[in-house]
Amino acid sequence: MKILLVYPQYPETFWSFKYSLNFIKKKALLPPLGLITIASMFPEDFETKLVDLNIENLEDKDILWADFVFISAMITQKDSAYKIVKKCVELNTKTVAGGPLFSGLDYEFPEIDHFVMDEGEITFPMFLEDLKNNDLKKYYRSDKKPDMKNTPVPRWELIKQDAYARMPVQYSRGCPYDCEFCDVVRLNGKIPRTKTPENIIRELEVLFDSGWKGSVFFVDDNFIGNKNETKLLLKKLIDWRKEKKCKMTFMTEVSLNVADDEELMFYLREAGFNSLFIGLETPSQESLAECGKYQNKNRNIIDSVLTLYKNGFLVSAGFIVGFDNDDLNIFKRQIDFIQKTGVVIAMIGLLQALPGTRLYERLKKENRLLTDSSGNNTDFSINFIPKIGYDELIEGYKHIVNTVYSKKEYYERALVFVKNYNHYVDEYFKSEYLFALFKSIFYMGILDKNRFYYWKTFFISLIKYPRAFTKFIAMSIYYAHFKKVFADYAIPIRIQSNNKLSS
């Protein structure tokens, strides 16, 4: 049996980092972890190939070679998935689909032959059994939550390592928090399930032995969802890095309460973690309560972020506008909030109602849903009727983006970061880092007409805070992407007085 695994193309969004990747000679941020994990579950006599449209083209001959084409995708990859399915239909090759896109929007893909939904450790063996018996069904679903200790090691040999900036690993699924706009609890449950430390060490061993010496992204919903289990893993990781003399570094997603636990922060940095993504969302206490983000309430969020810098972590964060409790002051408040945190990689999004979330169900009952979400909350679209007013929300959102991603404000945040950052985690030096430095100087320091802000931060970082200098260079490279992504929206916005926006 011949199996073609296909990963659809991501659009040019905030998180694609497409325009920054060429600075380090990479084509995509991450390979498709789900597909290469499923590949490990096929019988040994199955022949498997992977095509990732983010780094290569899908040819007709690839589809014609296969007995089945397996597709996994996020909602933002929907347009590319449509094209893949259409081509498979034209070439009369059967399709099997899974992942978040198809779990919520399967009805938009009637041409797909089989859906393997929910968690693959449960539903994929059901598909394989029916395939063996020549009795395949349209849908394979299960409410059961698998023990992640049985998840196989991904087939790393299927990917072209040199094309990617990072490698993904998953330690846990689920999150103890149930934010109204988030679909994690629906997909993976409220009680975090984890692999054993031995499972993770084995996965990292295979990755390390394959030659990977770069950054690894733990793609967990909330890496510290079960703090006690996480600390046990981190202790094992610390020992493993020392034993292997390994400088592999890690990044992940966590909740803000990580800043409350000195021991946890110590273990994280000793284990090689140097970058964290956190949902900060909003400075509004009312909006935090509305969406159920209680872990961020009644605390000084800015101080928590600065604490993380001091403990050796680069923080990237999500911010949202469009909550029912947001008023016309939220846009200026959000800008001030973002600037004071010093979060350079600030994903500022419009609230989106994703299928299956509590927000989606509430808005549906209130007859406020307009359409399905695009899955991209930075594309200047919303899929529900906001209380603040549609035009006011879009105009205010553009104002935030224009301001926060202007050169002046961007490098002001970089300065907040470098002044507070303490470097702890060393990593492997790679020749592409030097290449990236020279490209950064050429494009940001020479060609850019607003290069003053670049050079100001460059020399302050180099002379006064040299241990943060490499982080600054990375930030300048990220700016090349953000500038390009938001270029179409960097337009002057006329603002009226009396509680309206200010230009």
Q: Residue 463, Cβ neighbours under 10 Å: how many?
A: 9
Euclidean distance between CA atoms 74 and 15, whole angstroms: 13
Amino acid at 421: Y
Model pLDDT, residue 153: 95
Residue 252 has pLDDT above 60, yes or no: yes
Residues 6+ apart with CB under 8 A from 411: 453, 454, 456, 457
Euclidean distance between CA atoms 111 and 298, whole angstroms: 49
Quote the tokens at residue 116.
């393997």
**Ramachandran angles phi, psi of 226, nearest 5°:** -120, 95
Euclidean distance between CA atoms 239 and 383, whole angstroms: 48
pTM for the predicted model, two decimal places: 0.92
Model pLDDT, residue 500: 37
Residues 6+ apart with CB under 8 A from 17: 29, 165, 478, 481
- Tokens 């961020």, located at residue: 296
Q: What band does 284 get if pLDDT is binned at 50, 70 and 90?
A: very high
Pairwise pLDDT comparison (16 vs 207), residue with the higher score: 207
Tens digits of per-residue pLDDT, 157-197? Answer: 999 999 999 999 999 999 999 999 999 998 899 999 999 99
Among 222, 162, 216, smallest CA distance to 191 is for: 222
Euclidean distance between CA atoms 286 and 281, whole angstroms: 12
Quote the tokens at residue 150.
């049985």
Quote the tokens at residue 192.
């975090």
8 A C-beta contact, residue 383 and residue 353: yes
What is 222-284 written as a DSSP string?
Answer: -TTSSHHHHHHHHHHHHHHHHHHT---EEEEE--GGGGG-HHHHHHHHHTTEEEEEEEEE-S-
Model pLDDT, residue 187: 86
Residues 6+ apart with CB under 8 A from 133: none
Model pLDDT, residue 387: 96
Residue 503 has pLDDT above 60, yes or no: no
Q: Which residues pair with 169 in a beta bridge?
A: 218
Euclidean distance between CA atoms 84 and 437, whole angstroms: 38
Lowest model confidence (mean pLDDT) among 203-212, 302-311, 442-451: 442-451
Tens digits of per-residue pLDDT, 337-388? Answer: 999 999 999 999 999 998 889 999 999 999 999 987 777 777 788 999 999 9
Amino acid at 67: D
Tens digits of per-residue pLDDT, 397-429? Answer: 999 999 999 999 999 999 999 999 999 988 876
Q: Give helix 407-420 / helix 330-341 axis angle, nearest 10°.
A: 40
Walk me through the domains of the chain, giving residue ranges and CATH numbers: 2-140 (3.40.50.280), 158-404 (3.20.20.70), 417-488 (no CATH)
Q: In what order do the strands lie in the sheet with 249-253?
A: 166-169, 215-218, 249-253, 273-281, 314-321, 346-350
Residue 4 has pLDDT above 90, yes or no: yes
Euclidean distance between CA atoms 114 and 135, whole angstroms: 12
Q: What band does 334 get if pLDDT is binned at 50, 70 and 90?
A: very high
> Rg of the chain's alpha carbons, rounded to an integer?
23
8 A C-beta contact, residue 146 and residue 122: yes
Residue 303 has pLDDT above 70, yes or no: yes
